[in-house]
Amino acid sequence: MQDIALPLIGGMIIGLATSIMLAFNGKITGISGIISQSLEMPKAKNYWRYMFLAGLLAGGTFMLYFSPQYFFYSLNFSLYEAIAAGLFVGVGAVLGSGCTSGHGVCGLARLSGRSFAATLIFMGMAIVTVFIRGLL
């Protein structure tokens, strides 16, 4: 029960967060875009991005304090895998105009053809990557 309820509820909370952003600020919550656009000299039009990222950290801190059990897992990968992953995710998200939040959570709900395609492709490639990694 727990392992169905928590993911489902967590997902809906994620949806709620993106809906709040859309309803009030009129913006799609694509985290890779929020991050990549923040990589310029600090300017007023990016303040909302910095605030979102600060919120991500604040919410995480809140959960870490009150429900630390959610953070009890090990990171089963090497430093080199982390660096490689970062490079691929970084280029891929900017080139592909989005990631799991932008294309997945928001794009699919908007019934965007681009997002359907992007989601299918990155899901597929991720599955293949995990499979290959398992063979190595």
Partner 1 sequence: MSLFVSFISGAIFSVGLVISGMINPNKVIGFLNIFEQWDYSLALVMGGAVAFNLIAFKLIKRIQTPLLGEKFHWPTKNDIDRKLIFGAGLFGIGWGIIGICPGPGVVNLLLFDHKVIAFILSMLFAMASYKFIAKKLE
Q: Which of residues 110-129 bind partner 1 (CB under 8 A)?
A: 110, 112-114, 117-119, 121-129
46 binds partner 1 (CB under 8 A): no
Q: Does 17 bind partner 1 (CB under 8 A)?
A: yes
d(CA 98, CA 40): 18
97 burial via Cβ count (<10 Å: 0-12, 13-18, 19+)? middle
Q: How many CB atoms lie within 10 A of CB 118?
A: 22
109 binds partner 1 (CB under 8 A): yes
Q: 59-98: which residues touch partner 1 (CB under 8 A)?
A: 59-64, 67, 70-71, 73-79, 81-97
Is residue 42 part of the contact set for partner 1 (CB under 8 A)?
no
**For residues 36 and 42, is the Cβ–Cβ distance under 8 A?**
no
